[in-house]
Every structure is written in structure tokens, then in C-alpha cells.
């Protein structure tokens, strides 16, 4: 399809609107770019109104997309309620990109607990509420796409710190079960597991990106293009840098093998100690 056809009102109406959280920078801003160029209208959510307005102007000019900005701090209950209301009331929304997230730096022992609490509110609580509401709406309409941005540290918690990795393990687990719950109603669900990606998240969390190994860092455009290719392929889990999908399939198979033995009537023999009088 030509860009003119992608920009046509009829094509846009057929795709509907994508609501993207954390759209003011990094991964979210590239999703906004790519989805507008694919023919989606957009609702951009984040706190930085100036950056959201600049992105809106640029993408409107380039694509003719209808774009609205919803300025919201997703750790604030009233702001989050505005986004939730938008998901319920705007029936043109066909896609949620649950992307907004922050990282914490350092070990849990001695951590700044206010920072950890804010991260959990954003990465876990807000993401869960929005995923739940979008699921309800999409199931009722028998269509929709729900993308949750997790991280490879969901699979390799030792690579990073405890609290951030745990929030991303939550997102992975939530997405896997959500898929089981709603895919039968025509709703597509995807978890994206980026590795280290060149965005502002590092500086924002007080980590010097210059100290990260260059061979492990992906550019953000490449990351989002790969994630969207995975979405087009109908993947539930997309790990953009993983060369061989058999590694993932084998991992899932190993987990499935545990299944029949994870809940049984009796403890395993190695835990059955002989009672001493």
C-alpha cells in the first residue's frame, strides 16, 4: 500500500485508534511514529505535554492521523482514571500499547522505598488496570490488540536489580495468562521483551549508559520495528534480539514438563523426613 492509501480516512477508520502510554520518548514515541504511518489514529499518554504536542504536530503533518494528547501521571489515581475513562468511552480504540515504565537502580536492601513504590504503581498497577479495562472493552467488541512492554529481565532476573526485574516478570506472567483468557474472543495479546535499548530510561534511573556493553544495546527504532513484526506474525511473546525461536520453545516445553508435578497430594519423597520420638 502507498503512504497516500495508508493515510486515507477509510483506511484509518478501519484500523481505529491506538492508545499508547509513555509516548513522549523512547519506545513509546517510536510506536507512535510507526502506528501513525501504518494508518492508526493515536491517543498519546504521558506527563510531558510539550514533548507530546511536538510529536503530535510532527506525526499529523507526516501522516494526517487524528492524534489527541492525554496528559497523565499514571501513578496518580485521578489521572489514571482519566485514561481508564478514555478506554471505556472511546469505541474507536482498537489497540493499547501499555508501555510507560521506569527502572529503579540498586539493590532492594537499602533501596529508596518511595522510588520503588512509584515504579510498582506505574509498571504493575497502572499497567494492570489499563490491561483489564482494555480487555473488557475488546472482548465485548470481539476485536483489539493489547501490547504489554515487559523486558528480558523477566527471564533473567540476575541481570538487573530485584524490584525492576520483578515488575517485568509480573508483566510477562500477566500477559501469558491474559492471552489464555481472552484470545478466544478475538483479542490479540503480545508481551514484548526488549533487551537493553538506547532510550532515556537509563539516565532517568541514574545508570550511566556509557558503562553498558555496546554489543548488548539495540537502537530503539530497530526494537520497535522488530516488536511490530512479531505482532504481525501473531506472536504472544516477542524477544527482538533472540536469534533462534527454538530456544524459547524449548524453555516453554521445559516449564510445561514441570506442570503435572507442581501440585500433588503428598510432598516429594526428599522432604518426607522420618519422625523422631
Residues contributing to the site for ligand NAP (CB under 6 A): 22-28, 46-48, 72-75, 99-103, 122, 149, 151, 194, 196-197, 199-201, 204
Cβ proximity to ligand NAP, 92 vs 115, nearer residue: 115
Judged by beta carbon, residue 62 or residue 200, the one nearer ligand NAP is 200
Output the furthest CA–CA distance in the chain (Å, rounded).
Answer: 84
| DSSP summary character for residue 218 | B
Q: Which is nearer to ligand NAP, 108 or 253 (CB)?
A: 108
Shortest distance (Å) from residue 70 CB to ligand NAP: 10
From residue 13, how far is each of 56, 66, 86, 201 by CA, in Å?
18, 10, 18, 34
Count, residues in the chain? 277
Rounded Cα distance between 165 and 142, Å, is 33
Judged by beta carbon, residue 81 or residue 253, the one nearer ligand NAP is: 81
Smallest distance from the beta carbon of 268 to ligand NAP, in angstroms? 36
Smallest separation (angstroms) from ligand NAP to the CB of 266: 41
What gap in Å lies between CA 225 and CA 16, rounded to an integer?
20
Contacts of 159 (CB under 8 A, 6+ apart): 152, 153, 165
Q: Is the distance from CB of 175 to CB of 150 less than 8 angstroms? A: yes
- CB-wise, 12 or 129, nearer to ligand NAP? 129
Which of residues 102 and 169 has its CB atom nearest to ligand NAP in the complex? Answer: 102
Least CB distance to ligand NAP at residue 28 (A): 5
Q: How far is the CB of 217 from ligand NAP (least distance, A)?
A: 8
**Residue 188 in contact with residue 231, Cβ under 8 Å?**
yes
Query: Helices 220-232 and 26-38 sit at what angle, rounded to 10 degrees?
Result: 50
CB of 32 to ligand NAP, least distance (A): 10
Amino acid at each position: 500500500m502507498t503512504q497516500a492509501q495508508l493515510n486515507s480516512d477509510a483506511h484509518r477508520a478501519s484500523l481505529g485508534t491506538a492508545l499508547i502510554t509513555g509516548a513522549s520518548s523512547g519506545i513509546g514515541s517510536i510506536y507512535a511514529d510507526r502506528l501513525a504511518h501504518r494508518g492508526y489514529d493515536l491517543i498519546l499518554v504521558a506527563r510531558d505535554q510539550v514533548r507530546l504536542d511536538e510529536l503530535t504536530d510532527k506525526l499529523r503533518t507526516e501522516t494526517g492521523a487524528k492524534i489527541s494528547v492525554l496528559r497523565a501521571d499514571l501513578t496518580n489515581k485521578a489521572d489514571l482514571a482519566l485514561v481508564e475513562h478514555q478506554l471505556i468511552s472511546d469505541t474507536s480504540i482498537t489497540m493499547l500499547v501499555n508501555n510507560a515504565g521506569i527502572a529503579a537502580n540498586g539493590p532492594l536492601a537499602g533501596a529508596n522505598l518511595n522510588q520503588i513504590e512509584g515504579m510498582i504503581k506505574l509498571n504493575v498497577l497502572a499497567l494492570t488496570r489499563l490491561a483489564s479495562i482494555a480487555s473488557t472493552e475488546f472482548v465485548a467488541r470481539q476485536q483489539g490488540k493489547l501490547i504489554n512492554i515487559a523486558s528480558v529481565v523477566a527471564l533473567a532476573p540476575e541481570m538487573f536489580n530485584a524490584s525492576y526485574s520483578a515488575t517485568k516478570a509480573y508483566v510477562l506472567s500477566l500477559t501469558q495468562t491474559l492471552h489464555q483468557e481472552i484470545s478466544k474472543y478475538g483479542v490479540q495479546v503480545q508481551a514484548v521483551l526488549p533487551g537493553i535499548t538506547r532510550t532515556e530510561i537509563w539516565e532517568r534511573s541514574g545508570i550511566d549508559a556509557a558503562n553498558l556493553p555496546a554489543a548488548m544495546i539495540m537502537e530503539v527504532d530497530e526494537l520497535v520495528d522488530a516488536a511490530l513484526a512479531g505482532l504481525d506474525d501473531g506472536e504472544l511473546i516477542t524477544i527482538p534480539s533472540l536469534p533462534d525461536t527454538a530456544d524459547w520453545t524449548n524453555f516453554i516445553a521445559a516449564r510445561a514438563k514441570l506442570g503435572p508435578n507442581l501440585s500433588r497430594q503428598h510432598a516429594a519423597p526428599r522432604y518426607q523426613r522420618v519422625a523422631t520420638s
